[in-house]
Amino acid sequence: MNTIVSIKQDNKRRFMIKKAFVFVAVAALLLAGSAYAQNEAHCGKCKRSGALNLTDAEYMALADSIHKVAISFDTHIDTPTYTLHPEGHYTVAKGQVSFELMRRGGQDGAFFAIYLDQGPWQNQKSLDSAYNWCHNEIQSWKDYVSLHSDEAEVAYSTDDVYRLKKEGKRIVVLCIENGYPVRTLEDLDEFYKMGVKYITLSHNTPNQICDGSRYPKTYYWYPSTGHGLSPFGYKVVERMQQLGIMVDVSHISSESLVDVLKVIKAPVLASHSSCKALKPSQTRNLTDDEIRAIAAVDGVIQVGTGRFFLSDDLPYYKVGVAVLANHIDHIKNLVGYRHVGLGTDFDGGGGIVGLDNSSQMKNLTVELLKRGWTAEELKAFWGGNLLRVWKACEDYAARFK
């Protein structure tokens, strides 16, 4: 019996020593932000510093501690479509996001997108139909969140984000994927009043605002603008910024991005875009020059997790967290950690091995820790960068209120 007690006491001491070691490591990261060596190589060749020589369990404990203090965001998920229309016939994985899965993954908030397929935009009837459908979807999603008020709440400002983090609620932010329902500038005012915080200007194909990332080579947009913003599109971008609605440049054409960046007065975001340097065949991935241009206006690129965004060389079942981290590191090495975040596209085609739903977010944190990311950099990655852009848009809009 004494031997058994002695063994238990020894095991307890070992556990306490290990726990204390992890605590010291966390404290060093959070206070100094420099416990790890910086990346010494590019993308997939990035060196795993292993400076603390932690076990996988200890790295996960460290990631858990970081998520407790960071405000973590996913800037693009398509969950409202599935939740409001479960009877639909979907070709991608669904059910990847719930408030409970977010809580388990240490994910504080997400931008929940109201998505619209692109339809005819050259006549008033189709535009009216798109507007009415979008308006109803936003209200229905807000009603859904209200039914779960013990778990989550809609954030209408960055101040709401900080409050809800303290309250321990999941943070719901409203956005629209595809500017198709915007018929007039007054529609933007209405969407803003409803709580919309970003609008993706188009979804791959042309609409009344701008051209998309996919278009026939023979298609000619407006004679005065080529394949970029339409005359109405310039007014839309201007009004969005006056209201404080962030301009999302994912899915739009390179020409449209150039036009947006010419006239922008506040930072923009790419809510779910990856790197063309690592997957050239994906037309809606961003080139290095486009990444630099977005960073130059203090914007942020939120990397998407869809397997089709990330690799031409690997079969789907081998595209995992490390491949995603290569895209993240590529942006960090190119323009700095202040200009990169995550936009998974969950419930809309996103998901990879090891990061297939919102409960697995910490797996990415562990991977980045092993690559030498500091706590300060991870706090920026998970939400600080996005909140900086959002607040800058709020501040710019305040001049017109």
In a domain, 223, yes or no: yes
Nearest residue to 156 (alpha-carbon basis) of 340, 395, 390: 390
State how far the Cα of 36 lies from the Cα of 370, in Å rounded to an integer: 9
Structure tokens at 356: 């297939």
- Rg over CA atoms, the chain: 22
Residue 226: band (very low, low, confident or very high) from pLDDT cuts 50, 70, 90: low
Residue 27 has pLDDT above 70, yes or no: no
Q: Is residue 155 part of a domain?
A: yes
d(CA 63, CA 22): 11
Determine contact, residues 369/48, Cβ cutoff 8 Å.
Answer: no
CB within 8 Å of 185: residues ≥ 6 apart? 235, 236, 239
Query: Which pLDDT tens digit goes with each residue over 284-319?
Result: 899 999 999 999 999 999 999 988 889 988 888 899
- Is residue 109 scored above 50 in pLDDT? yes
Task: Say what the pLDDT of residue 332 is.
Answer: 98
The least confident of 150-159, 247-256, 306-315, 316-325 is 306-315
Q: CA dist 321 to 44, 79, 173, 278, Å?
A: 11, 22, 25, 15
% of the chain with per-residue pLDDT over 70: 84
37 domain-assigned: no
Quote the CA–CA distance of 31 and 53 in Å, as a whole number.
Answer: 19
Give the other-Cβ count within 10 Å of 10's Cβ.
10
- 207 domain-assigned: yes
Q: What is the average per-residue pLDDT within 195-202?
A: 98
Residue 12 domain-assigned? Answer: no
Is 287 a domain residue?
Answer: yes
The β-bridge relationship of strands 109-115 and 152-154 is unpaired
Determine the Cα angle at 90 with ends 201 and 75, to 5°.
40
Residue 222 backbone dihedrals phi, psi, to 5 degrees: -100, 135
Q: What pLDDT shows up at residue 364?
A: 98
State which residues form the domain around 123.
72-398
The domain tally of the chain equals 1
Q: What is the CATH number of the domain that holds 344?
A: 3.20.20.140
H runs (alpha helix) in 182-269: 185-194, 231-243, 254-263
Whether 27 is covered by a domain: the verdict is no
pLDDT at 151: 97
pLDDT at 34: 34
Handedness of CA 34, 38, 43, 48 (dihedral sign): negative
pLDDT (average), residues 145-157: 98
- Which residues neighbour 188 within 8 Å (Cβ) at sequence distance 6 or greater? 182, 199, 236, 239, 240, 243, 245
pLDDT at 215: 60
Higher pLDDT pick, 123 / 257? 257
Q: pTM, whole model, 2 decimals?
A: 0.86
Q: Where are the beta strands (DSSP E) in 135-289?
A: 152-154, 170-177, 196-200, 246-248, 269-270
Mean pLDDT confidence for 100-107:
98
Q: Decide: 200 and 248 in contact? Cβ < 8 Å.
A: yes
What rounded mean pLDDT belongs to the chain?
87
Is 66 domain-assigned? no
- Is the pLDDT reported for residue 221 higher than 70? no
Please compute the mean of the pLDDT values over residues 256-270 and round it to a whole number: 96
